[in-house]
Chains A and B, each alone.
Chain A
Amino acid sequence: MHFYHPQNTATSLSWQGEQFAPDANGVFDLPEAAGADMAAFGIVQGDPAPAESAEIAVPVSQWKNVDLLAQAKVLGLELPPDIKRPDLIQAVAAAMKVA
């Protein structure tokens, strides 16, 4: 089962004598029975929300080599299938401002 700390402050944990390390996203793979004990540490079952990619945080002017459709998906945008690149940039940029 996947567990994670919402504030991502847990760097390592031990449960019933076994040590666990998080993956790159801060997710621990623990037995389901660990859930009750983990509550004391603020560690909850599930996966963390996807983090913003490093690329999406850079200025729009530097996005020309970025997969804009993937960024739009991260932002949850619903786009027409025939959208042109300038319009896509505008839509993603607008969504970023709102966020």
Chain B
Amino acid sequence: MSTAEILNLLKAAQAAPIMDDLAKAYVQNSTATQGLQLYDLEAPAKILVPVLTPLRNIIPRRVTGFGSQANWKAITGINTANQRAGVSEGNRGGIITQTTAEYLAAYRMWGLENSVTFEADLAVGGFMDLKALAVEQLLQSLMIQEERLDLGGNTSLALGTTPTPSLVAGTAGSMATQGAASVICVALGPQAYLDVAGHNDGVTGQIFDPTSAAVPGQITKTNTDASSDTFGGGSAQKSANATVSVTGATGSIAATVAAVKGAWGYAWFVGATAGTERLAAITSINSVVLTTYPGSGQLASTLTTVDSSTSTLDYDGLFTQAAKSGSNAYYATLATGVAGTGTALTADGAGGIADFELAFATFYNRYRLSPTRIFVNSQECINITKKIIANGGAPLLRFTLDAKDITDGKIQAGVVIGSYLNKVMNVNIPIQTHPLLPPGTILFYTDQLPYPMNGVADVIRKKLRRDYYQLEWPLRSRKYEYGVYADGVLQHYAPFSLGVITNITNG
């Protein structure tokens, strides 16, 4: 074979396709979990949940409880008859009279459970400590639930039956003509409001969705040991239905209901006819304008006709203690105003909020004290700032900037009212956004009483029979079971030092 022939054969061989058994090459698989490649998994898992418990964090915890309830007595008045002090010659003075009061608060147990199966524990390998995580998140979940109890637990304030709403048919929507469109309202206590609106504590991204939200009536909870508890979910008994004749096709219904003391909001059910009312809206004021008939969502007919506002498993939270009759707390419900619009806080034209000034004057005039914290929703945080800075049309702020302070043509905007001076008692009160407070409700909190030798080290405290403890249950199946519990009650020695302004609209 000549050299030329060999060269030609080589060229032909190189030009021909390579046989399959010689063509294998390693390529990156398009699927991350297949092919010869390492799986770049960052360990451990990120935990993207807020755990916000500002009240739980500041309320002192005292593990001094025993018995079935905490009991205490208080002296609520000395020289109540205003005995005059003048004394005539050689005679003794008059006798003063005192008043006392007796209080009690029954202990409650609160706890949650979690488990890890043997298989889950084996599967996790060295990725993370699953059993430790299970207990850690159990504790965090319990703290969040405890915060809900501290703020809005309700064992004794029955909201009763929601008043029948007043309705007026209008033309601001897209409702079709109906002879008797029907509306039902349900007043929502704190726990029910949070369930319907979403509390975004321990979870994120929750918003009210009328197609999936459900007003809780009586809740039956199945426990780990297969026992069950039935308790009120926090909602009042639904109202009787009210009807109006809607003229379409731009029909609408404006609705108001008498404000319910102890409610955080109102759920509105509407239907084209009686019996078809579905959840359409929740409001944190006592009115709404309904513009459509919901095609889906919770039917009001699924709510039983009982008052579900209280729970035998709760203790009374701060809001409930303020709303209870006899607490003597400051409780202001802003006026209904225009249906669907409501009433906003009012600037006093002197760098303050008129509604706050009234509250502070009342606190002083009646009890000679000042709140030490103001808890608000984000809505009120913004609106308080806006109203104070705008000052009823005479703005308090003027930005004067030196040119050298302007970088790249940018200036920083935005101010916030971080605290509020109680003019009456010259006390600077921090304003703090609370994650669970609903829009339209403000809570005044007092952790110090200006009374001498009052014997109250903590105005508010968690009196506990036992603080947080973890149970690792004996094995009864192929999973590790854990429980985290606490036992006690929220004890408030001076509920008259609490204050609430509610039914505030956004504006």
Cβ contact within 8 Å between A12 and B244: yes
Is A63 an interface residue, CB under 8 A from the partner? no
Q: Which of A6-22 contact B (CB under 8 A)?
A: 9-17, 19, 21
Which of B89-97, B114-122, B148-156, B334-342 is found at the contact surface with chain A?
A: B334-342
Cβ contact within 8 Å between B336 and A40: yes
Is B240 an interface residue, CB under 8 A from the partner? yes
Number of A-B contacts (CB under 8 A): 67
Chain A hits for B292, CB < 8 A: none
CB-contact partner of B256 in A10, A12, A21, A40, under 8 A: A40
Given that A40-B256, A41-B254, A42-B338 are contacting pairs, would A16 and B170 also be in contact in the complex, using a CB cutoff of 8 Å? Answer: no
Interface string of A28-65 (1 = CB under 8 A from B): 00000010011011110000000000000000000000
Beta-carbon nearest neighbor of B177 in chain A: A11
Cβ contact within 8 Å between A9 and B336: no
Q: Tell me, rounded to whole Å, the shortest Cβ–Cβ distance linking A11 to chain B.
A: 5
Q: How far is the CA of A11 from the CA of B247 in the complex (A)?
A: 7
Chain A hits for B180, CB < 8 A: 19
Given that A40-B337, A40-B339, A41-B256 are contacting pairs, would A13 and B167 also be in contact in the complex, using a CB cutoff of 8 Å? Answer: yes
Cβ contact within 8 Å between B338 and A10: no
- The residue among B168, B242, B246, B256 with the most chain A CB atoms within 10 A of its own CB is B168
Chain A hits for B339, CB < 8 A: 40-41
Interface size on A, residues (CB 8 A): 19
Cβ contact within 8 Å between B246 and A14: no
Q: Tell me, rounded to whole Å, the shortest Cβ–Cβ distance linking B305 to chain A.
A: 15
Cβ contact within 8 Å between B171 and A12: no
Q: How far is the CA of A76 from the CA of B371 in the complex (A)?
A: 62
Cβ contact within 8 Å between A13 and B169: yes
Cβ contact within 8 Å between A10 and B169: yes
Interface size class of B (residues with CB under 8 A): 20 to 34
Is B328 an interface residue, CB under 8 A from the partner? no
Q: Tell me, rounded to whole Å, the shortest Cβ–Cβ distance linking B339 to chain A.
A: 4
Chain A hits for B242, CB < 8 A: 14, 17, 19
Chain A hits for B244, CB < 8 A: 11-14, 19
Q: Tell me, rounded to whole Å, the shortest Cβ–Cβ distance linking A78 to chain B.
A: 39
Q: How far is the CA of A38 from the CA of B287 in the complex (A)?
A: 12
Q: How far is the CA of A5 from the CA of B339 in the complex (A)?
A: 14
Beta-carbon nearest neighbor of A10 in chain B: B168
Beta-carbon nearest neighbor of B254 in chain A: A41
- The residue among A5, A13, A15, A34 with the most chain B CB atoms within 10 A of its own CB is A13
Cβ contact within 8 Å between A43 and B243: no
Q: How far is the CA of A8 from the CA of B474 in the complex (A)?
A: 72
Is B164 an interface residue, CB under 8 A from the partner? yes
Q: How far is the CA of A40 from the CA of B246 in the complex (A)?
A: 18
Cβ contact within 8 Å between B338 and A12: no
Cβ contact within 8 Å between B245 and A15: no
Q: How far is the CA of A19 from the CA of B167 in the complex (A)?
A: 9
Given that A9-B170, A12-B169, A13-B166 are contacting pairs, would A21 and B338 also be in contact in the complex, using a CB cutoff of 8 Å? Answer: no
Beta-carbon nearest neighbor of B339 in chain A: A40
Chain B hits for A12, CB < 8 A: 167-169, 244-247
User: Please, could you name 21 A-B residue pairs with CB atoms under 8 Å apart, sorted by A?
Assistant: A9-B170, A9-B171, A10-B169, A12-B169, A12-B245, A12-B246, A13-B168, A13-B169, A13-B244, A14-B244, A16-B164, A19-B242, A19-B243, A19-B244, A19-B245, A37-B256, A40-B256, A40-B287, A40-B336, A41-B168, A41-B339
User: Which 8 interchain pairs have the tightest Cβ spacing?
Assistant: A12-B245, A14-B242, A14-B167, A12-B169, A41-B168, A12-B244, A40-B339, A13-B168
6 further contact pairs, Cβ within 8 A, besides A14-B183, A19-B244, A38-B168: A11-B246, A12-B167, A13-B166, A13-B169, A40-B339, A41-B339
